[in-house]
Amino acid sequence: MVRLRKLQLVVSQMAIDAIAWWVALAWAIWARYDFAAVGAPLLSLVVVGFLIVAAQIVIGLALWLYRGRYRYGSFQELRSLFVTAMMAAAAVGLPVIAFGNDYGLPRSTVLLAVPYALVLMAGVRYLRRTFVEGSRRPRNGAEPALVYGAGQMGDLLLRSLTTDPRSAFRPVGLLDDDPAKRNLQLHGVKNVGTFADLDKAVAETGAKALIVSIARPSSEFLRRVQDSAASNSLRVLVLPSISDSLAGTPHASDLRDINIEDLIGRQPVDTDVSSIASYVKGKRVLVTGAGGSIGSELCKQLSVFEPSELIMFDRDETGLQLTQLAVSGHGLLHTNDVVLGDIRDALELERLFLARRPDVVFHAAALKHLPMLEQYPEEAWKTNVLGTLNVLEAARAAEVETFVNISTDKAANPTSVLGHSKRVAEKITAWMGKQTGKRYISVRFGNVIGSRGSMLPTFTSLIESGGPLTVTHPEATRFFMTIPEACQLVVQAGAIGRTGEVLILDMGEPVRILDIAKRMIAMSGKKIDIVFTGLREGEKLHEDLIGASESDERPFHPKITHATVSELAPERMRKDEWSARLSLSGTAEQTPDTAQGKEHVS
């Protein structure tokens, strides 16, 4: 059935083009004699007509014009049509120019017919495409939407929206801040003003949604859009971010509701990770903590760079299964790419390293919940300090070339058990790098949006349960980044980091947690109380990215700092001194009159 339909389309195209040539030739002769009746030999005209139609079909088949290569009515098809018609005209027109008078035909017959034929053939295609696209427009039940952004992305999106009868959205107007696009119309959709005219545009069009079709919008920009849209009761939708599937043409199915990650994130740092990840390709790579949020995403990104072997290590068997599903497409747990073990077990860890001989190690395994570690500092010492040392010793025994330790901004000027334990991990990583002469480095970043147990999932759960939402302090701020971007930094660090360094991403301005809480409540449409609990033991009001004694050097990338940390030999690691340091720096920064309280947000 499909083949028959394609054959019918091809035959109809050939027939249309044949008729166009016949009409054009007749019109050319008539125009040649000033539209007066002439006695041109009918037989000669018929012969020339058959010849030029035959040439058109043969050449068109050779150039795939009639073989389904081009989208019907597209510029590519019109270009092929033009080349085909000109070649057919040349093949028949040159003999007519030479011998036409001998047979009673004006020598200019074919030359005059060419533009007429092209207009007819292209015109039929245009009308047919207009009819087809008109029949595919979204149904009246589709939600009326304004499209903000009339650039290339907006053009492609509108083409998709206006030619998909199943689209949930029906574009009713364009918004663009460029004065040159004031009178623009794309795919039948008119520009109805700039973003400042949003109120007027909503009133005129009856729009219920606002689609942002701007590449890589900043969070500040999206917050402004969200606030204005909310005042007009508009649903806001965006296209996938740069880290998602935006390599191709945007489609209606790609649209998603704006979320809190869009509103508190930053403009992603431009890093061509694939060009610097050659140290991974063809190498044996091991990731500790592979079942966690960072470790899992890291494994997914590393698998793209074609390591000869990717070893995923964790003590969480369920986490390992989910990572294997994401990386390998199955969760059978019967292959040796997943390894169940604990970084606290130094003997088994060394056996694994010596047996598998990894070339590159990414150390993501850690305990990370600040208040929990304040209660159980022994666990932080065992995992974040001694566990890291165990991984480092195993890496040295196996002669690992590149070792990347994943740290946290809480290691800069630490005041918590978590911060102090990760600070020690940075120092012993630097020491091991000097001892081995290999590339042993650390990477430090702030809160990772959406990671397990982090703030946003917790807030979401509290809102769904009806609240109240707990915030430590009304002025508390944090740095945020997405999981994919955090992992990109980790992968890049292995290429540009130098032994003993800590790499720190410029994370822009910190975000006030109270603002996030209010915005999430507003987006939920619920009435939720916010309760201020006061800063917890060891918790900072504002985080630091770079320690007081560290320099801010950016030798390779304007957004990535290379700081040097002091080395700490394992034999100098004293738990009693570490515990004493905790007691000296563990006082939380609180402002008594504002640290606790309650606020109602609806």
C-alpha to C-alpha distances, 433 to 8, 162, 573, nearest whole angstrom: 71, 58, 17
Q: DSSP letter at 553?
A: B
Q: What is the mean pLDDT of residues 424-450?
A: 91
CA 265 to CA 275: how far, in whole Å?
A: 25
Q: What is the mean pLDDT of residues 228-248?
A: 72
Structure tokens at 600: 């109602």
Query: Which of 19 and 6 is assigned the larger pLDDT?
Result: 19
Element (H, E) at 286: strand 284-288
* Residue that has been written with the tokens 């570490």 in this structure: 578
pLDDT of residue 44: 67
- Inter-residue contact 137 to 57 (CB < 8 Å): no
CA 546 to CA 544: how far, in whole Å?
A: 6
Structure tokens at 479: 């740095």
Residues 6+ away with beta carbon under 8 Å from 54: none
Q: Are strands 189-190 and 439-444 parallel, antiparallel or unpaired?
A: unpaired
pLDDT of residue 592: 41
C-alpha to C-alpha distances, 532 to 471, 477, 591, 601, nearest whole angstrom: 5, 14, 12, 13
pLDDT of residue 212: 92
Residue 437 class from Cβ within 10 Å (0-12 exposed, 13-18 middle, 19+ buried)? exposed
pLDDT of residue 398: 96
CA 422 to CA 444: how far, in whole Å?
A: 10
pLDDT of residue 505: 79
Q: What is the mean pLDDT of residues 121-136?
A: 75
Q: Are strands 256-257 and 284-288 parallel, antiparallel or unpaired?
A: unpaired
Q: Is 534 left (phi over 0), alpha (psi -120 to 50) or beta?
A: left
Q: Are strands 560-564 and 143-148 parallel, antiparallel or unpaired?
A: unpaired
Using H for helix, E for strand and C for coil, what is the string for 408-441?
Answer: CHHHCCCCCHHHHHHHHHHHHHHHHHHHHCCEEE
Closest CA to 65 of 10, 133, 2, 5: 10
Highest mean pLDDT among 82-96, 405-419, 547-561, 577-591: 405-419
pLDDT of residue 216: 76
For 154-201, write each residue's pLDDT tens digit.
Answer: 888 888 888 777 788 888 999 999 888 888 888 888 999 999 999 999
**Lowest mean pLDDT: which of 18-22, 334-338, 349-353?**
18-22
pLDDT of residue 139: 66
pLDDT of residue 247: 44
- Alpha carbon 535 to chain centroid, angstroms: 35
Q: How confident is the model at residue 85 (pLDDT cuts 50, 70, 90)?
A: confident
Q: DSSP letter at 454?
A: S
Give just the sign of the alpha carbon dihedral 510, 514, 520, 522.
negative
492-519 in b/e burial notation, b at 16+ Cβ within 10 A? bbbbbbebbbbbbbbbbebbbbbebbbb
Domain annotation for the chain: domains and CATH numbers: 2-135 (no CATH), 143-258 (3.40.50.720), 282-449+479-521+544-585 (3.40.50.720)
pTM over 0.75: no
Asked whether the predicted pLDDT for residue 318 surpasses 70, the reply is yes
* Residue that has been written with the tokens 């394992």 in this structure: 570
Query: Which of 444 and 239 is assigned the larger pLDDT?
Result: 444
Query: Which of 199 and 94 is assigned the larger pLDDT?
Result: 199
Question: Angle at which helices 75-99 and 109-135 pack, to 10 degrees?
Answer: 160
